[in-house]
Structure 1
Amino acid sequence: MPFKKIIIEIEQQHKVSFNYTEDNITGLQLHPPKRSLSLDQKLQYLERKTNLSFENIGNQFINIYKKDKEANIICGYVFSADKKPIENANINLNDKIQLTTDANGYFEGEKSETNILWISHIGYITKRIVATNSGHKKCLEILLDPDITELEEIKTNAILASGISKSKDGSFEIKPKKFGILPGLIEPDALQTMQQIAGVNSIDESVSSINVRGGTHDQNLFLWNGIRMFQTGHFFGLISVFNPNLAHTIAIYKNGSSAFYGESVSSVVVIASTPETAEKNTFSAGINMINADMYAKYNLSKKSYIEIAARKSITDFIETPTFKEYFNKIFQNTTISDFSQNQNIKYQSDKEFDFYDATLKYAQKIGTKDQIVLDVITIKDNLKVLQSAATNDLNKSENNVLQQQNFGGNLSWKREWNSKNTSKINTYNSSYKLLANQKATTGNQIVIQENTVQNNGINLENNHTISAEFSFNNGYQFNEIGVTNLEQVTNPDFYRKTKEVLRSHTLILEGIYNDTISRIYGKLGTRMNYIEKFNKYIVEPRFQLNYGISKSLNIGLLGELKSQNSQQIIYLQKDYFGIEKRRWVLSDNTTVPIQRSKQVSLNLFYKKDDWILDIENFYKKVTGITTSSQGFQNQLEFIRTTGDYEIFGTEILIQKKMNHFLTWVSYTYNDNNYDFSNYEHPIFPNNFELMHTFSWAGVYERNNFKMALGTKWTSGRPKTSPASSQIDPSNPVINYNKPNNTNVNVFSQVNLSATYKWVTANGVQYKLGISILNILNRKNEINEYYRISSLSNAIEEVETFSLQRTPNISFRILL
């Protein structure tokens, strides 16, 4: 019978593995040895019947090679100290041959008179072996000792809370699975957590309006596993769409981001849910006063797994106190709340609200060098409000529907060519849709508004390790984005639909230098963009430099030039019922310019004896902004012009850890001004300027109990006051002072959160959490504008307030 079939039967009977090359056994046939023979007897029989040599390694591995080539082969097995084979160990033979061990730890190569081998693998001490050509035919057995390095405690792994660290490149990294606790948070929500970082705020408490160093929310790039997300908030901004129980790593860049990240002139938020190491099968489920969720990871084999996560609001079944506070906050000063104004009899409202998100990941390793990963995410929010009122003999009703959804998919392939070179290619699609449908019985009018985005592309990235200190990365990106806006009205009839498409090609070069001995870290890169439609080239250099003056003191310099082709604008403040007013549009390189930014910052970081001092000064300028993207509710609301904003700022963090107690205080100063050169008052404060922001928190963590108390205080955002309280009845127009001439009242809030975890004897984990936002129930004003009352024909002041005291309770089980 075929020789290969014979050795397969021997493998099954004696639980051994044969190592051989196909050329040595191809076409070979003979009578099989008797099944009753011992393993050694069978090997002796096969050696007599063939021109092959058999080497038995511990009755576990058997090497096969031709006798005439035996003298020219050097082979070996690489094991750990506990005798387990080490796969993918790197063998350097005589400085000219690179070998890699297989799943059995086996390697072989062509030997010379004197053979010098260097054996290395991550996590083990590199070993050097000299083997002479003495005719000794046995394979080498090489044991690698673990590389155990005694490190000082890395105190930067607990900035603000455990699980948050600051990297050499200036980014903040969040590990949700290691996350401790922050005031008001009982789950590691990515977008809520980042608002605790100095320089990151939300002007209206919404995760759909995150302002980083004075920028608008749409100027931030949000990536989930390589997919650009155009919707970031559930409940129209009060909850992040990213499941907090899913992400493995979250990186936040305020400046100096990698050249591989484009299409943003402000921050970059990168969420990656592919674990760095293999994990066991896991299932968890939880519920709080807004939603319920589940998470499951199942290993299909040693080289593949599937991961599923999903969340669903519980507002379909119950209206909790948390839901009521959220609902009241969202619908302030919207067309839905305006409907009931001045209606004194028979006013009724029936509302339905729900949301969900779901993610799927499938990962498959192919051989020892390749991995394929598929990621899918779907997000949706639904709001239905039926309102009716009757005054005298007049009946009025409206049926409003508002939907917001984002779907994305990414397929990536990664190959490790060798220990120094890897490649990754991925193709992605992101689809976003915002739809409003309003039906009014009065006048039989139907209003439909729709904003859709289709974004797809392909990315190629290569990573090359040149030496222990220097690496070089390069890549290519193709991106296509299409935006459609639809407006349709009946009675009177009106229809408008516009669609714009932009395609861009980008070449990326990036070098990284990291010398731990001299404590120097540097990254220099550039994006070279070409936009087809405008036949325009844009070069975006980035740099990061970090120098360790001493073991305790580091100084860092970061800078970047960036551009962005898409943005969100507001046509009318009442678009989409005034709830989700922003719609995506693309640059036309004229009335809607390409936004460009430049930023530089200088950072001083000191850590010693459980103290941390982090000071960063920065300058940032963004050009190409439009008035319609800034949310003006004054004399500039209907003026269309372009300009820029310029911001100088300082961010300070002081932190101290004492046993189980961590406390920190942060302060941010921003001087942020617009410059609209074509406007009569060109320079005035930015709508998103918070000149002074002060935060404090105290965190206690011991064993399975965690508690955090904190406060946040900000100077009020700018507003524009009327120059006169009187208006001309024949021409009812508000006469304003200079834009943003004053400010709303200061914002002050105290928040509390606590969690407790316990484990049963069979290993099941339970976690209970409670949080209270705005403990003191302070009525914080977050916006103020003026309008003319249709009833009194006089100026009325419209105020919007933050959340009142809002409790939340969560319970989670982990198997």
Structure 2
Amino acid sequence: MLLPKQFHFLFFTFFLVLNLSAQDKGKRMPFKKIIIDIEQQHHVIFNYTEDNIEGLELTPPKKSLSLDQKLHYLAKNTTLSFENIGNKFINIYKKDIESKMICGYIFSDSDKKPIENANISLPNKNQITTDSNGYFECKQEDATLFLISHVGFISKKIVPNNSDSKDCLRILLEPEITELQEIKTNAILASGISKNKDGSFEIKPKKFGILPGLIEPDALQTMQQIPGVNSIDESVSSINVRGGTHDQNLFLWNGIRMFQTGHFFGLISVFNPNLAHTISIYKNGSSAFFGESVSSVVAISSTPESTEKNSFSAGINMINADIYGKYNLSKKSYIEISARKSITDFVETPTYKEYFNKVFQNTTITDFSKNQNVNYHSDKKFGFYDATLKYAQKIGSKDQVILDLITIKDNLEVFQSATVNNINRSENNILRQQNYGGNLLWKRNWNNFNTTKINVYNSSYELLADQKTTNANQIVIQENTVNNNGINLENNHTINSKISFNDGYQYNEMGVTNLEQVTNPDFYRKVKDVLRTHAVILEGKYNDTLSRIYFKAGTRINYIEKFKKYIAEPRMQFSYGINKSLNIELLGELKSQNLQQIIDLQKDYFGIEKRRWIISNNTTIPTQKSKQLSLNLFYKKNDWLLDIENFYKKVNDITTSSQGFQNQLEFVRMTGDYEVWGTEMLIQKKMNHFLTWLSYTYNHNNYHFSNYEYPIFPNNFEVMHTVSWAGIYEKNNFKIALGTKWSSGRPKTSLNSSQIDSSDPVLDYSKPNNINLHIFSQVNISSTYKWETAKGIQYKLGVSILNILNRKNEISEYYRVSSLTNSIEEVETFALQRTPNVSFRVSL
């Protein structure tokens, strides 16, 4: 007979066995719920397809079992197999499916982290991507060979060699390392200036160091330090790149073509130096997306490459004052403004006086008072301003809209009067030059491999001269306006880490108006021309950083509606790194241009800004075309840098009126070409905080006018030899630069005789450009110092002196017949005398 305690024990044991048996035969539940519970308990991740587990139910395993025991239980009670990878990832696939599957994980070789959205291209042209764990799977028959690619990694081909393996592949991608950057990104000429693989120079104004004579990163002054870029009259409105005229350069500000580039009639740039983020300069081999220029391209972007914090700065120098501000409206939008205005309304500084004397020498403004030293009076007012606005807005994760606006204006008013021999003479002159522009850009990143940009832009330019002569009761009005509208479409496609291509379409409409109006006697002429062009662009790029090969080729097909004419413009850039120190580069391009500047009379617009824009008519003013080829050798090692470039350039269908002749060809109208070849060399050495460089340019430039009695003679813009040197010291917040520039004089035309026939006063010229002006030589210095307060406010003080030796450099010389004495006058124009400047800036 059982005792009560024994009975109680057997009774409890019996019900416990029943309970365990009931648990083993518990309720069935969906398979997906079972593996979710296992993921939460054991901190693992199951990878599977919904088709494999759809509708599957079973009794869940005990929670007390280990992970492997649970997987064994699930495999035993289903038709599924389970692969455990490091007790972290578990792959699920069917045991008896007809189509076997291949799975894999893709990781970075550098840090072994999974790569999300890696692209797997299959032989059947299907594409799959990896998930956040770097996992992918596909049918085995579809994956006999597949290509794996991702931006920032070297593409890899995989051939699965074990079809019976149930283990997932582990694939490592090597990061793409840009080895050529070791050669190209170091400072050239100054910190903040570098040279890219495509042959272009890049200036980062916010990282800009210092150059002789410059205390601010003026884009157009800075580019004149680059070998092959010059200005024969010290003007940013007359920049000559490899012998070309200023109008043959394309200047873009945030996609807007700028027709006015200089304030104070060319002595400072219209682009606020405290605004631009990136300035790209192409002497040759420019992208096919750049049209309408037969010489260089200067593309200025004020859009930052990355998000920046709020900032504000204000500054003043002896010519102008400016402000700059950037404010983040939200995490996805910001607004940026800048404004600059001359201070000449309030004070005439020594800098202003030197600029004024340089600009207005030998113009009607100064000619009025010649030989008039009795009761002469002059009142002059001069001022300029520029302002910009940028608004950027991100929409979602893929779209961005950017609006850019710019306005530029120079205004001169001069009232002059004189009394000679009891005769009163007075003139009231007004000269206005302005440029407005706007650009609206939409950018969309479709995915990591495809991007689209569409922008619509407008640029309007006006040059107006209004002259009123009181005693003659005469009014003379001259006006030149340009209106440029367009739309650009650009698509960027990345095939893999080495290959990409761009395609696009551009529509451009240019309208040019020239007006001349005179009273007493009455005369009126207004001519307006409009030209519309279409362009289709395609270019591809191959960049293999391991073999150090960079190749970019493209073409631009222009169609001119009015002429029903097609013009093809192929472009090419090739770079090969012979080793880590030595790089060879080949650049070539064909380009065309329908817009140019001409000079009808040297006294137009008071002789100050005498050039006017005109448009091609396909007859007397043909479309200009250029071809250029250059070979470059770039060497950098142990802080030494050597850059040697040989080039050949030819521009066809130029007109004599666009070249600024002041000799026997001044009133001759014919077309021809110019041909230039030369060498540009730069040698540079960096020693701790000291940087020094020496550059030399040889430029052989000839005109070809087949219908002229002298068919070949030197180009007006030929400067055969140019040598520049600079020594720059930068330590902490102190910078100082000393430099000199020496160049052979530009060509001029001499006279065969110094006497003229009084009855027929005609100058007797020699062969055009038969001699040269005297050597140009100038020494410049500049220095800046920056300091910061405990509250984070930065102050910057700068001092510069141009032409510190006060050398009198002649920059042009021509002859004319004096209307007063009926004799020959030799007219000389000189560069700036010693010109100081001081700047002060506060940044928050």
Task: Kindly state the Cα deviation for residue 392 of structure 1 after the two structures are TM-superposed.
Answer: 3.2
Alignment of 1:744 onto 2:776: no
What residue number does 2:408 align with?
Answer: 379
Find the aligned partners of 1:462 and 1:717 in 2 and give their Cα distance.
45
Taking the TM superposition and a 5 Å limit, the aligned residue runs for 1:181-196 are 181-196=210-225
Q: Which runs of 5+ in 2 are unaligned?
A: 1-28, 55-89, 93-105, 158-172
Alignment of 1:465 onto 2:494: yes
Taking the TM superposition and a 5 Å limit, the aligned residue runs for 1:142-541 are 156-541=185-570
Find the aligned partners of 2:394 and 2:245 in 1 and give their Cα distance.
40
Q: What SS does the corresponding residue of 2:354 show, helix, strand or coil? A: helix
What residue number does 1:559 align with?
Answer: 588
CA contact (8 A) 1:74 1:109 kept: no
Task: Kindly state the Cα deviation for residue 741 of structure 1 after the two structures are TM-superposed.
Answer: 0.8
Task: Kindly state the Cα deviation for residue 510 of structure 1 after the two structures are TM-superposed.
Answer: 0.5
String of CA shifts for 1:306-364, please: whole Å, max 9, x gaps: 11111111111111110110001000000010011111211111111111111111111
Alignment of 1:698 onto 2:727: yes
**Residue 254 to residue 124, structure 1, CA distance change in 2 (3 Å):** closer
Task: Kindly state the Cα deviation for residue 765 of structure 1 after the two structures are TM-superposed.
Answer: 1.0
Find the aligned partners of 1:53 and 1:304 in 2 and give their Cα distance.
44
Q: What SS does the corresponding residue of 2:630 show, helix, strand or coil? A: strand
Find the aligned partners of 1:198 and 1:180 in 2 and give their Cα distance.
18
Find the aligned partners of 2:351 and 2:703 in 1 and give their Cα distance.
37
Structure 1 length normalisation: TM-score? Answer: 0.85
**Residue 812 to residue 635, structure 1, CA distance change in 2 (3 Å):** same
Alignment of 1:646 onto 2:660: no
Task: Kindly state the Cα deviation for residue 481 of structure 1 after the two structures are TM-superposed.
Answer: 0.3
What residue number does 2:603 align with?
Answer: 574
**Residue 383 to residue 107, structure 1, CA distance change in 2 (3 Å):** farther
String of CA shifts for 1:597-636, please: whole Å, max 9, x gaps: 0111111111111111111111111011111000011111
String of CA shifts for 1:448-481, please: whole Å, max 9, x gaps: 0000000011111111111221111111111110
- More divergent stretch after superposition (457-466 vs 193-202): 457-466
String of CA shifts for 1:416-436, please: whole Å, max 9, x gaps: 111111111111111000000
CA contact (8 A) 1:779 1:801 kept: yes
- Give the letter aligned to residue 721 of structure 2: H
Alignment of 1:90 onto 2:113: no
Alignment of 1:800 onto 2:829: yes
> Of the candidates 790, 799, 803, which is equivalent to residue 819 of structure 2?
790
What residue number does 2:168 align with?
Answer: none
Identity of matched residues, %: 76
Q: What SS does the corresponding residue of 1:328 show, helix, strand or coil? A: helix
What residue number does 2:697 align with?
Answer: 668
**Residue 733 to residue 258, structure 1, CA distance change in 2 (3 Å):** same
Task: Kindly state the Cα deviation for residue 157 of structure 1 after the two structures are TM-superposed.
Answer: 2.2
- Give the letter aligned to residue 761 of structure 1: A
Q: What SS does the corresponding residue of 2:606 show, helix, strand or coil? A: helix
**Residue 540 to residue 599, structure 1, CA distance change in 2 (3 Å):** same
String of CA shifts for 1:554-591, please: whole Å, max 9, x gaps: 11111111100010000000010000010000011111
Find the aligned partners of 2:749 and 2:688 in 1 and give their Cα distance.
49
**Residue 54 to residue 305, structure 1, CA distance change in 2 (3 Å):** farther
Find the aligned partners of 1:429 and 1:343 in 2 and give their Cα distance.
46
**Residue 115 to residue 475, structure 1, CA distance change in 2 (3 Å):** closer
CA contact (8 A) 2:384 2:409 kept: yes
What residue number does 2:75 align with?
Answer: none
Find the aligned partners of 1:534 and 1:611 in 2 and give their Cα distance.
52
Q: Which has the larger radius of gyration?
A: 2
String of CA shifts for 1:57-82, please: whole Å, max 9, x gaps: 99xxxx9xxx999967999xx999xx
Q: Which runs of 5+ in 1 are unaligned?
A: 1-46, 129-143
Task: Kindly state the Cα deviation for residue 791 of structure 1 after the two structures are TM-superposed.
Answer: 1.9
CA contact (8 A) 1:221 1:268 kept: yes
Find the aligned partners of 2:404 and 2:628 in 1 and give their Cα distance.
33
CA contact (8 A) 1:654 1:664 kept: yes
Alignment of 1:598 onto 2:627: yes
String of CA shifts for 1:215-265, please: whole Å, max 9, x gaps: 000000001111110000000000100111111111100011111111000
Task: Kindly state the Cα deviation for residue 763 of structure 1 after the two structures are TM-superposed.
Answer: 1.2
Q: How many residue pairs get matched?
A: 746
- More divergent stretch after superposition (563-572 vs 292-301): 292-301
The runs of at least 4 aligned residues of structure 1 exceeding 3 Å deviation read 51-58, 67-75, 91-101, 105-128, 144-156
Alignment of 1:722 onto 2:751: yes
Find the aligned partners of 2:693 and 2:789 in 1 and give their Cα distance.
34
Alignment of 1:753 onto 2:769: no
> Of the candidates 678, 689, 692, which is equivalent to residue 718 of structure 2?
689
**Residue 644 to residue 435, structure 1, CA distance change in 2 (3 Å):** same
String of CA shifts for 1:521-577, please: whole Å, max 9, x gaps: 111111111101011111111111111111111111111111000100000000100
